[in-house]
A and B are shown apart, each in its own frame.
Chain A
Amino acid sequence: ELKVEQNPLFLSMQEGKNYTIYCNYSTTSDRLYWYRQDPGKSLESLFVLLSNGAVKQEGRLMASLDTKARLSTLHITAAVHDLSATYFCAVDKGSGNTPLVFGKGTRLSVIA
């Protein structure tokens, strides 16, 4: 059974600081996704990582994938308050259009 674990589950960080969120998964998978969710809202797609060594960046967020270690990271650079949200990683159960297995999420709070 595919399991996805994120850590930390809660993160409070000061504006301007850097931090990394980790996502481990238990079995081989083709694709890994990062989503952002604001309170009471749906999921906003941030990154889709398709291959070993993939790295994608958007603004202050950078995601990477190591399929051999079954690990993805979401790195936050110089955090700002607007990044406060819950971040989920999710992994495909298989190839093609298959359902996603989500981690429990990391609730990020950026404080002044």
Chain B
Amino acid sequence: GAGVSQTPSNKVTEKGKYVELRCDPISGHTALYWYRQSLGQGPEFLIYFQGTGAADDSGLPNDRFFAVRPEGSVSTLKIQRTERGDSAMYLCASSHQGNTEAFFGQGTRLTVV
């Protein structure tokens, strides 16, 4: 596609529920990144994929968070047993291997009530 696409744009869920956030990167981009941005803060790195594999998952805050990219294109960020502290904007970015610049999607605003 023309840009990085994230769905849904907004998600409201109840505490304890499971959610999935989807990211569709720019076609041909092999690198994909997930970031989380809390209100008034800068984005914080969660996980980075190179192709299908997670090259760096050191930013995932705990084992309730998991992400997959089974075919090296679309990625899904999964959050189990959501907590109110998980409320944030979740941003996805992609870049072409060898290219320095990553392009960000519009984000998914997650609200846990």
Instruction: Report A's interface with B, CB cutoff 8 A.
Output: 4, 31, 33, 35, 40-43, 45, 48, 50, 88, 90, 92, 96-105
Contact = CB atoms under 8 A, between A and B. Distances in A.
Contacts, number: 55
Contact of B45 (A42, A43, A45, A99): A99
What 6 pairs across the A-B complex have the smallest Cβ distances? A102-B42, A97-B31, A99-B45, A43-B104, A42-B106, A42-B104
Contacts of A31: 100
Band of interface residues on B: 20 to 34
Contacts of B100: 31, 48, 50, 92
Interface string B25-68: 00000110101000001111100101000001001000000000
14 contacts: A31-B100, A40-B109, A41-B106, A42-B91, A45-B104, A50-B100, A97-B30, A97-B48, A98-B56, A100-B102, A102-B42, A102-B44, A104-B41, A104-B42
B80 interface: no
